[in-house]
Chains A and B, each alone.
Chain A
Amino acid sequence: MSISKRCSTAPTLFKRLKNYFINRRGREALPVRLHWRRLYVLPSKPGLFFFLIGSTMMLAGLNFNNNMSLMLVFLLFGLAQVILYKTFFNLKNVVIDQVHAAPVFAGERYTLRLQLLAPTDRYQIQVKMDESVDTANILHQSGQWQLAADAEQRGYQPLPRLKLLTRYPLGLVTVWAYCQPKATVLVYPRPEQPCPSFAHHGGVEGPDSSVVQGDEMDDLRTYQSGDPIRDIAWKKSAQGQGTFVKKYHLKQGKELCFDYSQLNLKDIEKRLSRLTAWVVEAERQTLTYQLKLPQFDSGMGRGERHYHECLTALAVFGPGGVS
């Protein structure tokens, strides 16, 4: 029984040890220089085939005492050796200079932009992050890579481990290195889809745009969870055909206030999701808005900076945003 148990745990144990070994440096602050001690070198599949062909040729040359065949074989082995160093030098001393991913919403894919530096030109360096692969060169001392990954959770998410790999110039040898950069990608909460209409949280009404269309009975919509209670069209709802809420169409210039504490939703994530949707929608319609969270108040505003400030606050809010 114990044997079978050991058999089943052996690969995972090996994998764990391997991961432990690879990650032994922990998260590293950039820039990271790929010192030669960090590089792993092994022959690639074509390299093994090259070796196989070379060995066959050597056997033939030795058997028939054919000196020129032997010379050719040794030339090829010498070539393999040169290529080994060439490939090694192609990755040695590469500096992982910067990684950066523009913030995205949870559920989207984020694009990680990565810059590598090297004092000399380097070619065909592959960077892998989970499934995503990109290959580029370092020319004129710098090169850029783009990788994509799914943003699942909101908050400052750590980046997955990067694998830098090169087989240049002949593909006979693979040289690679791992790095876990101490960088994060900011993931905003997933905006609620479709965007619920703006709640009336007592935002200051703008001077020239206080018109609220559909204040009358003809413009109602069905109640969604989380709608403020005071927006409920009681009269209409009382008719027993469902609960209705007054629908506000806001003209440009309306100043909105999105308040976390006023949302009538149990789940924190759902609240954040709705607030996010509102912030996005308000920015899209170039409205002025304010976001209020416990311990955060953005103040009235609009524009890129304000928008990102609000979304960042939403992303890092509470327990879910810390990871």
Chain B
Amino acid sequence: MASQLSTKQVFWIVLAVVVAVLPQLYRLPLWFAPMMTVVIAYRFYVQVKHIKKAYNIILMMVAIAALLLIVYSQGFGLSREISVTILITMTVLKLLETYRQRDALLVVMLCYFVAMTRFLYSQDLVLVMYLLLSAWVTTHALAVINYQHGSAWFEKKQLKASIGWLAMALPFAVLFFLAFPRLGSPIWGSPDIFGEGKTGISDEMSPGSIIELFMDDSPAFRVTFGSNNKPENNQLYWRGPVLSEFDGRTWTRHEFRRSRGQVAYDRQAAIIEYGIEMEPNGRHYMFGLDVVLNAPQGSLMSPTSTLFSMNKVNQLKHYRLSSAVTDRLYQRLPQYQRKWLLDFPEGLNLQTQIMIKQWQATDDSAYGMINKALNWFRTEDYLYSYSPPALHSNEVIDEFLYESRRGFCEHFASTFVVMMRMAGLPARVVTGYQGGVDMGDYVLVKQSDAHAWAEVYIDQPDHELGGYWQRVDPTSVVSPERLFRGSGNIIEQRRSFFDFPWLRQTREHLDRYRFRWNQWVRDFNVSKQQALFDAIGIQHRDGKVLAVILLSVLAASGALIFSWLWWRQRPRYNNLQQWYLRFMDLFKKEPAIYARQSAGMEAVTHSIVEQYPGLKKSVNDFQQCYLRIRYRNEQLTPADRRRLQHFFERLKKDVKKRYHSQSRS
């Protein structure tokens, strides 16, 4: 039985491996793709040239070399990155010693595992589709290893069969998925150890960093508001990290070790409750509508009102928040903080400093300064653009204000904050998202909605907290449209080669399915399962009940598959054959005749006439008509059918009469 694998079988094994490994290629070390190519090329070379399997010692050395490479490029340890890399590498290397059916089955089955590990990083709908394809290819490879129908590389019959099996397996998978007990929390490791370093708002901002995000139309998070309480688009400031330290070019976050103290807000501000489904970003930030009142479970609120998750957000995260829709938040500002918030590189941007000094001379009040600055942006010739000229000098503020004059939100926010600090007002940059696409029952916030704005601390000595943070968005002055229509829609230029409005719309439309997918499948958990069980009236979820449910699912799907296969295996008859069967049914009560069914029309009619000479005419007429229609060189016409029907009816009548007279006598 140790027969060699055929080239076609090797081809399918390799294809299964390649399809399974491909979506992980991006995160594997650089040497991996060339290695895989070499291994596959060698395997095919060996196949075509009929070279014997290399000595085990050589294969062993290759495997050890690959292990060393992994340790070299990814470090030593049993982290998931390394274990997954080892699994994939060994699967690929196993191709080198795959010469017999047994090894081939092993490699191909490992492909299922490799495909699964991809899900630990992302469970996006598109990826799911791809991995289903991978499962199909792998299953087909298994089938080809076992038996090849025909010699074509892509044998249609077998491909169809393997997709059929998966389709039949699907109801079982879904039912089991719904009913199988889940763990409330992981036994080993934490769910966030697998994750993708997705792009998103970071804790640094320099000119150009948000523009990068602007290019990305992938979803950042989705928001479900309660009935009809979605605020206007220009109110949708999704607060992210707050950046307060400026080195002249880059803004960075200040680390706080405490959570937010006492705050107050305008009593007239509307309080909104909503739920957020956040795509993994590989960081701790969470986003909420400005101003978030309380941190949800598993997260904390920094003094800058930013939400931080305890674990990195590496999986789809759901949380509910309530926010006050207001642009000012009363909060105490300790002296030491005030000092940071007034800090700016003093020796630089002198031109701006001089201008601020001049403004201070006319009106020293905080609002006076804010208005002057905003007015300056409005009246002077500034342009909102996602492709501003690069700022090279040390004096970024001066260069932007007096030379380039074109910028994205980050330029305006950054410049504005520095101007305020020059004027002696504590100010900081807030990053996050602004706006969102209304998808009907939820609001989609994309990465391209990333935004930066400013906050200025206004002293109000008569308030018990001593002052408040006022949100100021300088971009809104330059381009008021931005707040209503989103950045993507107000810039005429195409962001990239593939940036077409219809494509953007299609993507947004597709997101609807993603949202449903996330809601129903990707995020199915203990509580949703509980709700499902409650809905179908199963209250007790102890072991016995669950076992009964699982067993009945098993039995039900088994019965389903069994009956489907059984039904598929039944003999199938064409129209004329069915006529024959109808004819046979007339003689159901005659075992001697009925038993001859498989002998064909002529033999059967012969024995009928022998037994019942009285039926000779009607039987023969029907037989003649039937034979002509079935075997002559023409298509079946309605007229034929009518004639057949006619003879059949007559025969039926005669047969009935026959029985009648028989029973009477």
Interface residue ranges of B609-646 to A (CB < 8 Å): none
* B168 and A78 within 8 A (CB): yes
Give which listed residue, B139, B171, B186, B558, contacts A170 with CB less than 8 A.
B139
* B105 and A65 within 8 A (CB): no
Interface string of B154-192 (1 = CB under 8 A from A): 000000010001101111111011001011001111010
* B169 and A79 within 8 A (CB): yes
Give which listed residue, B145, B172, B194, contacts A81 with CB less than 8 A.
B172
The reply on A63 being an interface residue by CB < 8 A is: yes
* B166 and A79 within 8 A (CB): yes
* B119 and A68 within 8 A (CB): yes
Which of A53-61, A234-242, A303-311 makes up part of the contact surface?
A53-61
The reply on B109 being an interface residue by CB < 8 A is: yes
Q: Which residues of the other chain, B, contact A79 by a CB distance below 8 angstroms?
A: 139, 165-166, 169
Give which listed residue, A46, A60, A65, A76, contacts B182 with CB less than 8 A.
A65
Q: Given known contacts A82-B168, A170-B146, is B524 in contact with A67 (CB within 8 Å)?
A: yes
Q: Which residues of the other chain, B, contact A120 by a CB distance below 8 angstroms?
A: 569
Query: Of residues B123, B165, B524, which shows the largest number of chain A Cβ atoms within 10 Å of its Cβ?
Result: B165
Interface residue ranges of A55-94 to B (CB < 8 Å): 56-57, 60-79, 81-83, 85-86, 89
CA distance A62 to B524 in the complex (A): 12
CB distance from B39 to the nearest CB of A (A): 21
Q: Given known contacts A64-B120, A169-B147, is B569 in contact with A74 (CB within 8 Å)?
A: no
Give which listed residue, A54, A56, A123, contacts B147 with CB less than 8 A.
A123
Give which listed residue, B145, B170, B565, contacts A86 with CB less than 8 A.
B565
Q: Which residues of the other chain, A, contact B145 by a CB distance below 8 angstroms?
A: 171
Give which listed residue, B109, B112, B525, B561, contacts A46 with CB less than 8 A.
B109
The reply on B273 being an interface residue by CB < 8 A is: no
Query: Of residues A45, A54, A74, which shows the largest number of chain B Cβ atoms within 10 Å of its Cβ?
Result: A74
CA distance A54 to B116 in the complex (A): 10
CA distance A66 to B105 in the complex (A): 26
24 contacting pairs across A/B (C-beta < 8 A):
A45-B102, A49-B105, A53-B112, A53-B113, A60-B120, A64-B189, A64-B191, A65-B191, A68-B119, A68-B521, A69-B116, A69-B119, A71-B173, A72-B112, A72-B115, A74-B172, A75-B169, A77-B169, A78-B172, A81-B557, A82-B168, A169-B146, A169-B147, A170-B139
Give which listed residue, B142, B177, B189, B566, contacts A70 with CB less than 8 A.
B177
Given A65-B182, A67-B523, 20 additional A-B pairs, CB 8 A: A46-B102, A46-B109, A49-B106, A56-B113, A57-B116, A60-B120, A65-B525, A68-B128, A69-B120, A72-B131, A76-B169, A78-B171, A78-B557, A79-B139, A81-B561, A82-B165, A85-B558, A85-B561, A168-B146, A171-B142
Interface residues of A, Cβ cutoff 8 Å to B: 45-46, 49-50, 53-54, 56-57, 60-79, 81-83, 85-86, 89, 119-120, 123-124, 133, 167-171
CA distance A123 to B158 in the complex (A): 12
Q: Which residues of the other chain, B, contact A133 by a CB distance below 8 angstroms?
A: 1
The reply on B135 being an interface residue by CB < 8 A is: yes
Q: Which residues of the other chain, A, contact B523 by a CB distance below 8 angstroms?
A: 67
Interface residue ranges of B552-567 to A (CB < 8 Å): 554, 557-558, 561-562, 565-566
* A124 and B146 within 8 A (CB): yes
* A72 and B109 within 8 A (CB): no
Q: Which residues of the other chain, A, contact B334 by a CB distance below 8 angstroms?
A: none
* A171 and B146 within 8 A (CB): yes
CA distance A224 to B116 in the complex (A): 79
The reply on B514 being an interface residue by CB < 8 A is: no
Interface residue ranges of B85-131 to A (CB < 8 Å): 101-102, 105-106, 109-110, 112-113, 115-116, 119-120, 123, 128, 131
* A78 and B105 within 8 A (CB): no
Q: Which residues of the other chain, A, contact B166 by a CB distance below 8 angstroms?
A: 75, 79
CB distance from B183 to the nearest CB of A (A): 5
CA distance A70 to B524 in the complex (A): 11
The reply on B571 being an interface residue by CB < 8 A is: yes
CA distance A50 to B116 in the complex (A): 14
* B143 and A169 within 8 A (CB): yes
Q: Which residues of the other chain, A, contact B171 by a CB distance below 8 angstroms?
A: 78
Query: Of residues A62, A119, A170, which shows the largest number of chain B Cβ atoms within 10 Å of its Cβ?
Result: A170
* B186 and A65 within 8 A (CB): yes
Q: Given known contacts A65-B183, A167-B146, A171-B146, is B165 in contact with A57 (CB within 8 Å)?
A: no
The reply on B522 being an interface residue by CB < 8 A is: yes
CA distance A56 to B183 in the complex (A): 15
Give which listed residue, A63, A75, A81, A168, contacts B183 with CB less than 8 A.
A63
CB distance from B48 to the nearest CB of A (A): 26
CB distance from B449 to the nearest CB of A (A): 27
Which A-chain residue is minimally distant from B193 (CB atoms)? A64
* B186 and A64 within 8 A (CB): yes
* B186 and A82 within 8 A (CB): no
Q: Which residues of the other chain, A, contact B110 by a CB distance below 8 angstroms?
A: 53
CB distance from B106 to the nearest CB of A (A): 7
Q: Which residues of the other chain, B, contact A65 by a CB distance below 8 angstroms?
A: 182-183, 186, 191, 525
* B116 and A82 within 8 A (CB): no
Q: Which residues of the other chain, B, contact A62 by a CB distance below 8 angstroms?
A: 182-183
CA distance A168 to B146 in the complex (A): 7
Q: Which residues of the other chain, B, contact A81 by a CB distance below 8 angstroms?
A: 169, 172, 554, 557-558, 561
Q: Which residues of the other chain, A, contact B170 by a CB distance below 8 angstroms?
A: 75, 78
Which A-chain residue is minimally distant from B101 (CB atoms)? A171
Q: Which residues of the other chain, A, contact B146 by a CB distance below 8 angstroms?
A: 124, 167-171
* B123 and A67 within 8 A (CB): yes
What 10 pairs across the A-B complex have the smallest Cβ distances? A78-B169, A78-B172, A74-B173, A68-B119, A75-B173, A74-B176, A68-B123, A79-B169, A46-B105, A69-B119
CA distance A78 to B562 in the complex (A): 12
Q: Which residues of the other chain, A, contact B194 by a CB distance below 8 angstroms?
A: 64, 66
CB distance from B17 to the nearest CB of A (A): 15
* A50 and B165 within 8 A (CB): no
CB distance from B499 to the nearest CB of A (A): 30
Give which listed residue, B102, B180, B187, B565, contacts A74 with CB less than 8 A.
B180
Q: Which residues of the other chain, B, contact A54 by a CB distance below 8 angstroms?
A: 112
Query: Of residues B123, B173, B186, B188, which shows the largest number of chain A Cβ atoms within 10 Å of its Cβ?
Result: B173
Query: Of residues A71, A83, A123, which shows the largest number of chain B Cβ atoms within 10 Å of its Cβ?
Result: A71
Q: Which residues of the other chain, B, contact A68 by a CB distance below 8 angstroms?
A: 119, 123, 128, 131, 521-522
CB distance from A17 to the nearest CB of B (A): 29
Q: Which residues of the other chain, B, contact A76 by a CB distance below 8 angstroms?
A: 112, 135, 169
Which A-chain residue is minimally distant from B158 (CB atoms)? A169
Q: Given known contacts A67-B177, A72-B119, is B183 in contact with A82 (CB within 8 Å)?
A: no
CA distance A63 to B189 in the complex (A): 8
Q: Given known contacts A75-B169, A85-B565, is B135 in contact with A49 (CB within 8 Å)?
A: no
Q: Which residues of the other chain, A, contact B169 by a CB distance below 8 angstroms?
A: 75-79, 81-82
